Amino acid sequence: MLQQSAWTFRYSLEGFLKRLLQGSETGRTESELVQEVLSGYAAGDEKSLESIPARVRAALNAAHGAFVKTEEERHVLRASIADELNDLSYRFLQEKGSPQKHGAILRHLQDATRRGRGELMSRVDLDRDPRFARLENGEWLLTEWELVNDAVAALMTEFGQRRADRTDLLGLLAEEETLQGKTLIFYPELDPRFAASGETVDCLLVEPEAAAAVGMPVEPIIEPETIETHTLDKPTERKEDSQMSETMMMDMVITEEKMENVSTDQLVTTVLAQLASASTTLTERNQEIPNEVLNLFNLEDLQGIEKLMNQRKRLAELAEDLQAVIAKWSAADRAE
């Protein structure tokens, strides 16, 4: 069975350093921070561990980073940036209460300020602002938040509980003395250790046999696929994939044949409907991936898991982009 360290869902190195220095007036030395990173952040082979000191030093000394060095050779967070766009980004994350993609933050700023995306991309610098921390998958959250994915995984594993309600889990953790008064953020959607459906969360680290032993439900949120051997160079094409592709091709042929007889309004409506259908298909497929990950987990296929998680991220981003396009042009159509 794979070790839990293989399921790491964590901050970027810079985000982890921001967390370490948050609220510290005296700061820490470079060597202290390196030791903290080695003990509480780093995971992997010996080569990656050997690179940690250099990576920490580069992050701390970055010209436009969030860290400054005091006269005592200690590192602290720079003062928060007084900037309208960063303040709007901060309030947006507060309202959402969950990590957000950089693109989602930019879209919010576009709507709020009516400025162009190019201008916003050149001006918004969350890396430099100590209030924002980035996850390794590229999403942003507030440094002050307490990301409790690891704590939830440990809790469910300890009690052999495979399935639980998201709110109940956060309620249990909020009672812990070290977490009282903090904003707890549990984000299972892109964490390969979990499969989430609404408020229900499955911890894939808990074997069904272990859950059954303590009387917990063991049915998966989504029916798992038959376990098959996966290869990276020649992915298996499932029957429904082939059928879906054929259906989409037929739709395209029909559309082209009838193009001359379709009005512009009808064409736009048809395209939006097709985009909505594609977005739904992507979302449904994305919801199946945790069970595919579980199959590879049982096969101890780390490369396969990594590939699936990258695909899951791409599917989620593509579905979100399609929804944004649909919302934009549907709103334009209503305005007319």
Asked if 163 and 27 touch (Cβ cutoff 8 Å), the reply is no
Q: What is the pLDDT of residue 281?
A: 84
* Strand duo 140-142 + 146-147: pairing: unpaired
Q: What is the pLDDT of residue 276?
A: 82
Strand intervals (E) in the chain: 67-69, 75-77, 132-134, 140-142, 146-147, 163-165, 184-185, 194-197, 200-203
Q: What is the pLDDT of residue 163?
A: 92
Q: What is the pLDDT of residue 288?
A: 74
Q: What is the pLDDT of residue 252?
A: 46
CA distance 22 to 41: 16
Tens digits of pLDDT across the chain (336 residues): 333 333 456 789 999 999 999 988 899 999 999 999 988 876 554 456 788 899 999 999 998 899 999 999 999 999 887 889 999 999 999 999 999 999 999 999 999 999 998 899 989 999 999 999 999 888 999 999 999 998 999 999 998 999 999 999 999 999 988 888 889 999 888 788 888 888 999 998 887 655 444 454 444 444 334 333 333 343 444 444 444 444 444 454 444 555 556 677 777 788 888 888 888 888 777 777 777 776 776 666 767 777 777 777 778 778 778 878 887 777 665 555
Asked if 196 and 188 touch (Cβ cutoff 8 Å), the reply is yes
Q: What is the pLDDT of residue 184?
A: 93
Q: What is the pLDDT of residue 322?
A: 82
Q: What is the pLDDT of residue 261?
A: 65
Q: What is the pLDDT of residue 333?
A: 58
Q: What is the pLDDT of residue 292?
A: 75
Q: Any idea where the domains of the chain sit in the sequence?
A: 4-77, 84-142, 151-213, 239-335
Asked if 147 and 8 touch (Cβ cutoff 8 Å), the reply is no
